[in-house]
Amino acid sequence: MASVKMILDLDTGVDDALALAWAVCDPRTDLIGVIASYGNTLVETAAQNTLDLLHLLGADNVPVFLGESHSSTTQSFDVMPISKAIHGDNGVGNIDITHSPRQVETMSGIDFLIKMAHQYKDELVYVPTGPLTNLSKALTIDPEIAHLIGNTTLMGGALTVPGNVTPFTEANIHQDPEAADHVFREQERLTMVGLDVTLRTLLTKKHTQKWRDLGTKAGIIYADLMDYYIEAYDQLGIDHRGAALHDPLAVAVAIDPSYVLTIPLNMRVTYDQESGDYGRTIGDRERLLEDTTTQVAVGVKTERFVRDFMDFMIAVLND
């Protein structure tokens, strides 16, 4: 029996595709929907990628909703060249994946999140792996969801290590620092899974060869996806040893927090563009004496996580 109702919020690039696969196959989760976001690609592309990957994984029953198409302070969004280099022009390593027969839902992702928060309350686990624009807007419309959602586990931020966009800023937070600050200040039962831990979870082509050796369509496509990602990490000088499992770790922690060591710390995000630390995730000095609403991951059980990740992936790709 699934122990949690899960909503993913994905800007579906390569590591989002891995996170989606984990959520689909883990028997402890009931994936009740996916909200598309912008970031690694455009929101419409992210939604179609998600539908197509769900179809590939035999999970056409999971609905996909459109979230916001740009940050809370802009009127449009363009994919950064570095995102295209890492994830491909189409977000999924420039691989053609068979289109799903299912369409994006007509209800907005924001309305879906609010409705599910009221319906499931403590049972609901929400996992955003892109910018926090969708959650911020939902909180603006209905502040009560800050107290209703059982747990929000986000992939984003960097507390103890440098950022990957600027010396201070991680990419997801950088897309909409104002929304991220709003979420950190308002959302309760929040866990930040940032670069502090995700950079310690590397996958190599030795791992993806095991998927390829399954001989299944899903195994070959996911191996091609991850190999593209690993090669991008190498060519761009991000890491020559392999590629980080950013988004899958957030899903894993949302299901089983024991994968990481956390510290309780109320957080804020700087968003003064004149400052030298725009988009920095840091402890909120004004709330140091208040009840803590956020846990920040600072350590990870790497071997256990990668082993479990591979076990789940082989199970879902061999199905």
Which positions are catalytic?
A: 11, 246
Q: Between the CA of residue 160 and those of 266, 281, 297, what are the distances in Å?
A: 15, 10, 10
Residues 6+ apart with CB under 8 A from 257: 191, 295
The DSSP output letter for 260 is E
Edge to edge, the sheet with strand 151-155 lists 64-66, 29-36, 4-10, 124-128, 151-155, 190-193, 294-300, 260-264
- DSSP-assigned states of every residue in 276-287: TTTT-EEE-GGG
Q: Name the amino acid, one letter, at 248.
A: P
* Spatial contact of 91 and 41, defined as CB atoms under 8 Å apart: yes
* Spatial contact of 199 and 244, defined as CB atoms under 8 Å apart: yes
* Spatial contact of 127 and 191, defined as CB atoms under 8 Å apart: no
Spell out where 67-150 has E strands.
Answer: 124-128
**CA angle at 131 for the pair 199 and 170, rounded to the nearest 5°:** 35
d(CA 186, CA 189): 10
238-266 in b/e form (b: 16+ CB < 10 A) is eeeebbbbbbbbbbbbbbebebbebeebb
Residues 6+ apart with CB under 8 A from 291: none
d(CA 92, CA 11): 11
Radius of gyration of the chain (CA): 18
